[in-house]
Chain A
Amino acid sequence: MLTVTDLACARGGVPVLSGVSFAVPAGGVLILRGPNGVGKTTLLRTLAGLQPALSGTVDFPEDQGAYASHADGVKATLTVTENLTFWAQVHGSRMPDDILATFDLETLRDRMAGTLSAGQKRRLGLARLGVIGRKVLFLDEPTVSLDAFSVRLFADFLRDRHLAQGGLAVIATHIDLGIDAPELDLTPFKAGPQTTGGSDEAFL
């Protein structure tokens, strides 16, 4: 169960979203919608605890959150199995035997991740979600560079394994995942006038 109350978050010191409230029950999914730059990534990073919220609360069972974006931490010089085993060990969980099959990676198991195609690498990144055993997933555009078949694999994983076992997910995506889920458009929560540039980073 994930409860978000009156959350405000900022990107680079500039407030992006304010007054975001929603709840996702166990086994549920919430799809975040909104145009580029509305703050989907910022919201997900705030929910995952990577950056502090300006105000408001995020409540979910401790040590159950996992974040995933297009930068999925796949190491090019490790094999597919080594990549997954590492994340399983870090989270102190066992790698499910069928996780490679779930993401159609079985024939690639001993290949270096650096030799995989963009879509295969993405599938490997998503397979990580299946080995870490976390219940609350914050997914930022999980289907980038996936073909229709792989999107279906991912949707099946989400529905049949993650949600069926009481997990939940908040997903920012622009495509139709084929999962029956409520959608939240972030446009109304946009905070104040948009300011651009002027950050200290311009000097570095």
Chain B
Amino acid sequence: MRSVATLTTLLTAAILVLPSATAPAGDAPWLPKPARGQGEKCVADTDWMRRNHMTMLMHQRDDTVYDGIRTKRFSLKGCIECHAVKAADGKPVTVASPTHFCRTCHDYAAVRVDCFECHASRPEATATTTGKATPVRPSTTDAAVLAQYLRSLER
């Protein structure tokens, strides 16, 4: 029993000191290899994100829900959009798939994620987000909103 505990400690230590998300397959084949996100780098260092992503998400969640702060850096929506893993059919997978970015590590560490009981675990289908919608005349006197509306008519 003691040896199992030691092994667990060693494994936990191993995942924490893993230097990069794309570790060479040779050095620790049993460790999870989460897919790379889009873009050059994450919103913070990979090592730091591994230890602190949950704290930042929790902090941002209260800021957003109560204070309407919608900065992109630590928003769950931002994480999901950048770290979407595509299935064979080209569509991003949901958390039901073991290849989902969050699940790769969380399955290994046996830590259950509750986020996706309510939150979307993949980006919204591109057809609805980038599809050309008919511009709707805003019922406001705000110059910026009206300007945006007029610009959309020009296109």
- Pairing of A with B: no
Which residues of B pack against A, CB within 8 Å? none
